[in-house]
């Protein structure tokens, strides 16, 4: 299995759950879906001086799985003030994420965890209401994967790491559902 196949499996599972829940207005997009109307979130900002003055330089990213409800139209980012870098922004707006899920088929390497952890940190800085989860299809080398030293040490910006998809998918759904209930009570969704 590769990450695209794993992404499709996870998306199908979550879409089935979202369809039966009271959260039908929540959308899911896979980062691998090149045809998606929206599949980018703003990950970080910095300032850059160009010939026409200072601009906000916004870095955008596509992530493996994003659950969202709202999209900010591109027209709300004035071209004379904002410039997008990185993956750019496809479609007509930028997703306001509610949940992101970073996927790995094999148990993650140290590099995977460091890079993914940085992305989760960036996302949570801009979107403090967003939950970031790390999900691995494969079991940990450790007897208790939630205590795997690499996961504990290198994935601390994730709200939770889920290792061994087949045994944890319902736990993942319950965490997502609980978070969506909290967002509803807070009137974010």
Is 187 domain-assigned? no
* Digitized pLDDT (tens) for each residue of the chain, 189 residues in all: 888 899 999 999 999 999 987 887 899 988 766 566 665 677 777 788 878 788 777 776 778 899 999 888 877 776 666 666 555 555 677 788 999 999 988 877 788 888 888 889 989 988 999 999 999 887 655 554 555 666 667 778 889 888 889 889 999 999 999 999 999 999 998
Neighbours of 122 (CB within 10 A): 19
Is 189 domain-assigned? no
Token readout for 35 is 């045809």
81 lies in which domain range? 3-181
Token readout for 140 is 């940990």
Contact residues for 170 (Cβ-Cβ < 8 A; gap 6+)? none
Token readout for 20 is 């039966």
Which stretch of DSSP H or E encloses residue 41?
strand 41-50
Are the beta carbons of 135 and 165 closer than 8 angstroms? yes
Is 186 domain-assigned? no
Is 188 domain-assigned? no
Domain count, the chain: 1
Start-to-end CA distance of the chain, whole Å, equals: 35
Is 27 domain-assigned? yes
Token readout for 38 is 């929206």
Is 98 domain-assigned? yes
Is 57 domain-assigned? yes
Stated pTM of the model: 0.84
Closest CA to 10 of 180, 173, 119: 173
Is 143 domain-assigned? yes
Backbone φ, ψ for residue 178 (5° rounding) = -60, -40
């Amino acid at each position: 299995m590769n990450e695209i196949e794993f992404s499709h499996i996870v998306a199908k599972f979550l879409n089935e759950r979202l369809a039966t829940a009271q959260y039908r207005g929540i959308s899911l997009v896979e980062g691998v879906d090149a045809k998606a109307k929206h599949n980018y979130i703003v990950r970080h900002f910095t300032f850059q001086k160009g010939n026409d003055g200072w601009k906000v330089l916004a870095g955008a990213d596509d992530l493996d799985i994003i659950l969202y409800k709202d999209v900010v139209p591109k027209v709300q980012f004035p071209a004379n003030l904002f410039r997008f870098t990185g993956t750019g922004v496809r479609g007509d707006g930028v997703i306001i994420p509610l949940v992101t899920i970073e996927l790995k088929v094999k148990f993650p390497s140290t590099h995977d965890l460091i890079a993914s952890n940085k992305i989760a940190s960036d996302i949570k800085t801009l979107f403090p209401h967003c939950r970031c989860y790390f999900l691995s299809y494969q079991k940990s080398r450790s007897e208790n994967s939630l205590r795997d030293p690499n996961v504990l040490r290198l994935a601390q910006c994730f709200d939770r790491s889920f290792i061994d998809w087949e045994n944890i998918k319902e736990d993942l759904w319950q965490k997502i559902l609980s978070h969506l209930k909290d967002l509803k009570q807070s009137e974010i969704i």
